[in-house]
Chain A
Amino acid sequence: MEVVLHLPVVPNVELVAAKAVETVGGALGMHQTGIEATSVAIVEACLNAMEHGGGQMVVRMSAEDSNGKPSLVIEVEDQGGGFDPTESPRNSATRVHGCTSKRGWGLTLIRELMDEVQIRSNPGMTLVRMRKYVENAP
């Protein structure tokens, strides 16, 4: 099973990706909590792609077995200027109160909510690849 979405930069387009997660995750037998966590992660990845990507983004979803366990793999790709993933912010809950800027939580949420996350970024292409295991699949 594979789903590919070419998404333009328009308000709330990230919800199209979230709706696809709901459909594909449900078809795979993913628990509702897993679907919702994956939906928040893909929303954050799409928001980052829209903010930094410089145009249309591509979202791919596929079912994969990893070590004998079924999973949903999602890739969000943009054509922006890129960044160094090792330099990306890893926010901490302890720095919230009194902090002037409350933005920049996207990658932190993605890393916390998904089971595996890989980021490849070069000038002209950033790819966020994330996996969520279908824990209650038959």
Chain B
Amino acid sequence: MNDEQMRLSKNVMADGYGLIAAAGYINNEGGQAIADAATDLISNGCGTLLIDLDGTRIINSIGVSILLEIMEKLLEDKGQLAFCNLTPTISKTFEIMGLVQYATIYPDRETAQTDLVGDLSV
């Protein structure tokens, strides 16, 4: 089950835009790790957050409920939350639990970054 251990990185990619890459099991601990990273990025001025879930295959409702709390925090500050690299089942779970009503879903990181902040390589 080592592949379910959460591996997480966070970076300020551009002015006001933060990226969290999270791979592993999104349960209460994994969800909280993402929430902590999000809180840190928000406090550093990131109003737009992209969460890349490449490598995340399994989640539970407790973990997703913590992601919903991040979404609410960003919405209160008129920020924006986006996800990319979701498996079909994670995408469907987000849809069932209402996350997709308030967050944008992108197929991959490049598409997300281009849409959110433009081409960062330029």
Give a binary string over A72-103; 1 marks a CB under 8 Å from any B CB, 0 the rest.
00000000000000000001111111100011
* Residue from the set A12, A16, A36, A37 with the largest chain B CB neighbour count within 10 Å: A36
Q: Smallest distance from the beta carbon of A72 to chain B beta carbons, Å?
A: 15
Contact (Cβ within 8 A) B58 A39: yes
Contact (Cβ within 8 A) A36 B89: yes
CA distance A37 to B89 in the complex (A): 5
Give the A-B contact count at a CB cut-off of 8 A. Answer: 82
Binding site for B on A (CB under 8 A): 12, 14-16, 18-19, 33, 36-37, 39-40, 43-44, 47, 91-98, 102-103, 105-106, 108-109, 112-113
User: How many of B's residues come within 8 Å of A, CB to CB?
Assistant: 30
Contact (Cβ within 8 A) A47 B62: yes
* Stretch from B8-16, B46-54, B96-104, B107-115 that touches the partner: B96-104
Asked if B68 lies at the interface with its beta carbon under 8 angstroms from chain A, I say: yes
Contact (Cβ within 8 A) A112 B58: no
In the complex, what residues of B have CB within 8 A of residue A36's CB? 57-58, 87-90
